[in-house]
Amino acid sequence: MNKNLYNYILGVADNSLILGQRLGELCGHGPSLETDIALTNISLDLLGQVRGYYQYAAKILGGNASEDTIAFIRKERDYKNVLLVEQPNTDFAYVIARQFLFDVYHVLFLDQLQHSRDLTLSAIAKKSLKEALYHKRFSSDWIKRLGDGTDESHSRIQNAMNDLWVFTNELFQLTEADKEMLNEGIGVDVTQLKADYYNQLNDVLNEATIEIPEVKFFQKGGKEGVHTEHMGYILAEMQYMQRAYPNMEW
């Protein structure tokens, strides 16, 4: 089995799984019916993408592996998502800031992944790109509305941005699997996306009258399986059914 390809797929897919799970927590709790549906739509888009990736990963793994075992039966250290996506839904501003910081990256990433030499990954990327473009449109709009809205909304989105900015740099770090897949023309060189990413952030934040946070030390670790304290709680809820009733199906 191609361990590097397997790890690479998880590195891509786990971001969408954990962000999708976080957004799913908001189902029925959105600030209005319209935003509630919008956020859960985004969650479902992400989970749909995840299924494509995990089905492919399960094929590589072979044996009894399935998209479900990959999603639900791994230990915390085996999840390779970035720290950004596991941050909590503190308030609507945090939800939007987290979404925006991920969406801008996600679009840049998928735009490159669609040219992968791996045809399955390329096909998933092409399909996902349209979804991610809409997510970015939605979250960018809200960044501007909150930033350029009331004093209250401005201070909340500024606050969320200040707190979450430390997690952005990790998006552009290369893992071992990333390097191997890059050499084979399968993976994306995320280091090349960084300048464009921060330029886009600057443009939107300027328009939203949000100050660019100054950060000296960035957080990292998620890609290597070293997560923040929030991750265990996410997995406890997400994996509950499979842990309590192993091999349960419906």
Partner 1 sequence: MKKNWPLWEVFVRSKNGLEHRHFGSLHAADAEMALENARDVYTRRNEGVSIWVVESKHITASNPEHNGEMFEPAQDKVYRHPTFYKVPDEVKHM
Residues at the site binding partner 1, with contacts judged by CB under 8 A? 31-35, 37-38, 41, 134, 137-138, 141, 145
For the range 87-93, what are the long-range contacts, defined as Cβ-Cβ under 8 Å and sequence gap of 24 or more?
87/22, 87/163, 87/164, 87/167, 87/228, 87/230, 88/22, 88/230, 89/22, 89/25, 89/26, 90/160, 91/156, 91/160, 92/31, 92/35, 92/146, 92/156, 93/146, 93/153, 93/156, 93/157, 93/159, 93/160
Task: Considering only the C-alpha atoms of the chain, give the largest distance between any 2 of them, rounded to a whole number of Å.
Answer: 56
Smallest separation, CB 92 to partner 1 (Å) = 9
Nearer to partner 1, 40 or 200 (CB): 40
Q: Which is nearer to partner 1, 35 or 69 (CB)?
A: 35
Is 106 or 144 the residue whose CB approaches partner 1 more closely? 144
Q: Give least dist CB 128 to partner 1, A.
A: 17
- CB of 86 vs partner 1, minimal distance in Å: 25
**CB of 40 or CB of 158, closer to partner 1:** 40
Report the nearest approach of partner 1 to the CB of residue 32 (Å): 4
